[in-house]
Amino acid sequence: MTQRPRLPRTLQVLERGWLSANNVVLVDGDEATLVDSGYVSHAAQTVELLRDALDGRRLGRLLNTHSHSDHIGGNASVQRAFGCSITVPVGMAPAVNEWDEQALLLSTAAQSGERFHADATLSPGERFVAGELEWEAIAVPGHDMDALAYYNAERRILMSGDALWRDGFGILFADVLGTGDGLGEARRTLEEIGRLAVDVVIPGHGAPFAEFDDALGRAFARLRAFEADSARMARNAIRACMTFKLLEVRSMALDELPRHLAETPLYREANARFLGLDPDALAAWLVKELERAGVARREHGELVAH
């Protein structure tokens, strides 16, 4: 049985699930730092969870690992509630400050977010102190080309975002959309991460874990499978994004699903580039896949999230 790793007393992980990324609270005396803020529809819940975790401390800053909606969606609400500054990876700052919904994948994946402004940026190699520990920002492109992970060498802790999970990593959007080499970048990222001395991984989704080598092995195996079969990568992206959508909206009319898939750029591009199905066939396949995975069911003409 897997045992939960021991975390420093100055670090607390608020585990959220898949619609909202984990929130990491790091305490320095009477001040605290937050890493990632969850999805916009969970923003009020994020604020309340954070208020409880802070226990009267001042939230000084919010850092993001990358620009996807499940990590930045609560930024505006958290800043309003606590008056903190917002620091983002340097590569995502232009898209944030111009609120480019295509670059942020909001319009691309039919997701939502509330506009905010970045007060500062972090670049790969920069160091900062949070939770009485020194962290180094490490470039981890692949899932998001501008993503950063945060590494503490003293306690051998890696906040990996969506670059490494216990069983895989986040969608390689660049390959699915034809905008870059996400596969190549993800391989280089995993190789770079693999050179670190890591005892504890705090992923963007799921519980913190200590099985670093096993997780790396699983991630490389998934990467090899995607390299060997690009259609498998596209199917994974479509399943994952529709699961995310259902977590947000809870249900969707089955007769609306083909239109949603045809009109949403992510599904349309993934299908056109790798699968070549008409919208009705794609919808029929997707419904069966989501039912098989146990994440959705058909009920009274609706596709309903479990």
What is the predicted pLDDT for the residue at 59?
99
Q: What is the residue whose two structure tokens read 């899932």? A: 143
Q: Is-contact 34 78, C-beta < 8 A?
A: yes
Domain end point (choices 228, 245, 262): 228
Residue 275 CB-density burial (10 A; 0-12 exposed, 13-18 middle, 19+ buried): middle
Q: Is residue 253 part of a domain?
A: yes
Q: Is residue 177 part of a domain?
A: yes
What is the predicted pLDDT for the residue at 187?
99
What is the predicted pLDDT for the residue at 141?
99
Are residues 219 and 71 part of one domain?
yes
Across the chain, what does the average pLDDT equal?
Answer: 98
Q: Is residue 19 part of a domain?
A: yes
Q: What is the residue whose two structure tokens read 């007769």? A: 255
Are residues 264 and 283 part of one domain?
yes
Are residues 240 and 119 part of one domain?
no
What is the predicted pLDDT for the residue at 266?
98
What is the predicted pLDDT for the residue at 204?
99
Q: What is the residue whose two structure tokens read 């259609």? A: 231
Are residues 139 and 40 part of one domain?
yes
Are residues 131 and 25 part of one domain?
yes
CB atoms within 10 A of CB 5: 16
21: CATH: 3.60.15.10
Residue 29: band (very low, low, confident or very high) from pLDDT cuts 50, 70, 90 = very high
pLDDT in tens, 45-82: 999 999 999 999 999 999 999 999 999 999 999 999 99
* Sheet order of strands, 11-14 included: 11-14, 23-28, 31-35, 58-63, 85-89, 120-122
Are residues 154 and 252 part of one domain?
no
Residue range of the domain that includes 269: 230-305
Q: What's the domain count of the chain?
A: 2
Are residues 188 and 42 part of one domain?
yes
Q: Is the pLDDT reported for residue 10 higher than 80?
A: yes
Residue 4: band (very low, low, confident or very high) from pLDDT cuts 50, 70, 90 = confident
What is the predicted pLDDT for the residue at 159?
99
What are the backbone angles phi and psi of residue 160, rounded to the nearest 5°? -95, -5
Q: Is-contact 37 78, C-beta < 8 A?
A: yes
The three-class DSSP label of residue 222 is helix
Residue 1: band (very low, low, confident or very high) from pLDDT cuts 50, 70, 90 = low
Are residues 221 and 75 part of one domain?
yes
Q: How far apart are the first and last CA of the chain?
A: 26
Beta strands in 95-242 (DSSP E): 120-122, 127-130, 133-139, 148-152, 157-161, 200-203
Q: Is residue 290 part of a domain?
A: yes
